Amino acid sequence: MDENTPLFAIATAAELSGLHPQTLRQYDKLGLVSPTRTAGRTRRYSMRDVVALREIQTLGNEGLNLEGIRRILELQREVADLHGRVRELESALADEVLKRQGRRVFAAGAEGEVIPLRAGERAQRGGQMMVWNPLWRMWNEWFSPPKSGGTEVEKR
């Protein structure tokens, strides 16, 4: 069982949230809080639903109308989804960097073109120069010995 497990009947959820059962039915109808339904079509609220009901009540007491509250809840869900997506993308990027160690080395040509180089390959002297290799920076940050007199926390 966790916070998403539907446990509470409408009367219990109403009591826990400090709202009237008819108010919970109205919020369900408006889509503000949508409890799960049993086979007999009765509403079952989770602890997460009860917390959302309390938040709706707080926002209403602060003067927001139901449409404003609906929009705030929608934006909060969107932000949570986007945070999850960012974590997925950061993980995928970290995996990709680890898979391609040494491949992200580039040089700039005399006319500004980007020239990819292999790991260990040096730019030719004909006007090319090294511009970026993220793995050198990571390698130095992760594996260089700590400087004397400084702690690991101070170094980073």
Task: Determine the Cα–Cα distance for residues 108 and 116; give it in Å rounded to an integer.
Answer: 9
Q: Is 108 left (phi over 0), alpha (psi -120 to 50) or beta?
A: beta
Backbone angles phi, psi at 108, to 5 degrees: -105, 130
**What pLDDT does 27 receive?**
94
pLDDT of residue 110: 72
pLDDT for the residue numbered 152: 46
User: Residue 156 has what pLDDT?
Assistant: 40
pTM: 0.56
pLDDT confidence of residue 140: 61
* Distance between CA atoms of residues 117 and 127, nearest Å: 15
Distance CA 96, CA 48 (A): 36
Structure confidence at residue 47 (pLDDT): 94
Alpha helices in the chain, H assignment, sequence order: 10-17, 21-30, 47-61, 66-99, 134-143, 152-155
For residue 106, the 8-state DSSP code is E
Per the structure block, which two tokens stand in for 39? 């086979």
Identity of the amino acid at 24 = L
Ranges of the chain with pLDDT below 70: 100-105, 118-156
The dihedral formed by the CA atoms of 8, 14, 18 and 21, expressed in degrees to the nearest 10: 170
